[in-house]
């Protein structure tokens, strides 16, 4: 059994980890930390876990995280890099769901996250946790930087096209929407029901912290310079993400060959579903699952290819992907504990 610790168990990604681990056959929950809720049974805060999770929250000072095999950080940016050196020195693997180990460019990290990076020597060895594009590095890693939710959709949506060299990499456009849970479990005016419900808005138009992460990773897929115009939007639903990606074709390729690029790229990927050409994937078809669905369009058979990508931002976009990485790191079947059927309606 893998002894698992979760730092920050009271947020949405934390409870998603708990939900997944409640039925994971190879996991033993060792510690779930929260200073404020120290001693409270986890199931008292999240009644959905009654009868499934019998552990109580513990203060980080008393959690004995160094006795775990792996520790997940479901915390704000900056927490994991403060604690990772001690855990790694004790032989504990670390998976961070925040941004501390996503960006190799320290200057970009410090610019976008407004804090110094405290362990750049560890950053160099961190593996980027997107299994479909970085599986072998994840298998060998002891430290994972889990991808952002938006970057997951953009990378998996653009990867086959960039690798094949059939699009203009310098002018990519990503029009993305996320449910409100992507903002985290906190009291904030913008995410109050009266503010977010019956409303739709863009944010981060002049620049978003997921842009440098996505550019850094897309740049590994092509020798061409990548340019990305990324606009995120907040939609009035709890969970779910829909990314509409645009790219200009620069090679003569028919629709069947375009579809084949994606089907070949993801034919052995258990969590990527390439739908028939011209399909319209819906966010509800991935709700509460680790599945990501992709569909291609080519309006008027012109020179623009449109890639539609949907996922659950809390699962494949966060906690499910982190568990996918853990499975690889410990030599388990990648799908272990993650074969939940999406919840519909």
Cα(319)–Cα(312) distance, integer angstroms: 10
To the query of whether residue 119 is one of the catalytic residues in this protein, the response is: no
* 83 and 203, same domain (yes or no): no
Q: Record the tokens describing residue 344, joined without a space.
A: 């519909």
Number of domains within the chain: 2
- pLDDT the model gives residue 184: 86
145, 104 in Cβ contact below 8 A? no
Crossing angle of helices 131-140 and 149-164, in 10° steps, is 100
Pairing between β-strand 93-96 and β-strand 70-73 as defined by DSSP bridges:
parallel
Position 328 in a domain: no
What is the C-alpha to C-alpha distance for residues 64 and 242, in angstroms, rounded to an integer? 39
User: What residues make up the domain containing 40?
Assistant: 2-125
Selected catalytic residue, list 68, 119, 149, 325: 149
CB 43 within 8 A of CB 53: yes
Question: 283 vs 162, 178, 202, 242, 259, CA distance in Å?
Answer: 25, 10, 18, 6, 21
- Specify if 217 maps to a domain: yes
- Whether 183 has a pLDDT exceeding 90, the answer reads no
Q: Which two tokens stand for residue 137?
A: 């590095």
> Is residue 18 scored above 90 in pLDDT?
yes
pTM of the model: 0.96
What pLDDT is attached to residue 185? 87
Beta strands in the chain (DSSP E): 2-7, 27-33, 57-58, 70-73, 93-96, 127-128, 143-145, 172-178, 201-202, 228-234, 241-248, 272-274, 292-297, 304-311
| Per-residue pLDDT reduced to its tens digit, 312-338 | 999 999 999 999 999 999 999 999 999
Looking at the structure, tell me whether residues 154 and 283 fall in a common domain. yes
Mean per-residue pLDDT for 232-258?
Answer: 97
Residue 251 and residue 293 in one domain: yes
Burial (CB < 10 A; 0-12, 13-18, 19+), residue 193, is exposed
Q: Decide if 141 is inside a domain.
A: no
Provide the sign of the torsion angle of the four alpha carbons 172, 208, 321, 134, taken in this order. Answer: positive
CATH number of the domain where residue 302 is located:
3.30.360.10
Q: Are residues 107 and 167 in the same domain?
A: no
pLDDT confidence band for 187 (50 / 70 / 90): confident
- CA–CA dist 254, 296 (Å, integer): 12
């Amino acid at each position: 059994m893998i002894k698992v610790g979760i730092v920050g168990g009271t947020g949405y990604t934390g409870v998603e980890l708990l939900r997944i681990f409640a039925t994971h056959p190879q996991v033993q929950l060792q510690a779930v930390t929260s200073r404020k809720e120290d001693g409270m049974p986890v199931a008292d805060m999240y009644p959905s876990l009654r009868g499934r999770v019998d552990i109580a929250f513990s203060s980080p000072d008393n959690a004995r995280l160094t006795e775990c095999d792996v520790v997940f950080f479901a915390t704000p940016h900056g927490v994991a890099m403060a604690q990772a050196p001690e855990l790694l020195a004790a032989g504990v693997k670390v998976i961070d769901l925040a941004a501390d180990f996503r960006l190799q460019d320290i200057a970009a990290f410090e610019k976008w996250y407004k804090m110094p990076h405290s362990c750049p020597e560890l950053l160099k060895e961190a593996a980027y946790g997107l299994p479909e594009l970085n599986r072998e590095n994840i298998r060998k890693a002891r430290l994972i930087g889990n991808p952002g939710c938006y970057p997951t959709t953009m990378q998996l949506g653009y990867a086959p096209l960039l690798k094949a060299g059939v699009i203009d990499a310098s002018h990519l456009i990503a029009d993305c929407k996320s449910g409100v849970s992507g903002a985290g479990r906190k009291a904030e005016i913008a995410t109050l029901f009266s503010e977010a419900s019956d409303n739709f808005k863009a944010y981060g138009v002049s620049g978003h912290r997921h842009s440098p992460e996505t550019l850094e990773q897309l740049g590994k897929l092509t020798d061409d310079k990548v340019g990305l115009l990324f606009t995120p939007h907040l939609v009035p639903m709890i969970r779910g993400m829909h990314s509409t990606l645009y790219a200009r074709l620069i090679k003569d390729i028919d629709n069947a060959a375009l579809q084949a690029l994606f089907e070949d790229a993801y034919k052995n990927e258990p969590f990527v579903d390439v739908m028939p050409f011209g399909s319209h994937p819906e966010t509800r078809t991935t709700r509460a699952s680790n599945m990501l669905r992709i569909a291609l369009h080519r309006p008027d058979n012109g020179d623009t290819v449109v890639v539609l990508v949907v996922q659950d931002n809390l699962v494949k976009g966060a906690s499910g992907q982190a568990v996918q990485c853990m499975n690889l790191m410990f030599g388990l079947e990648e799908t272990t504990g993650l074969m939940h059927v999406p919840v519909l309606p």
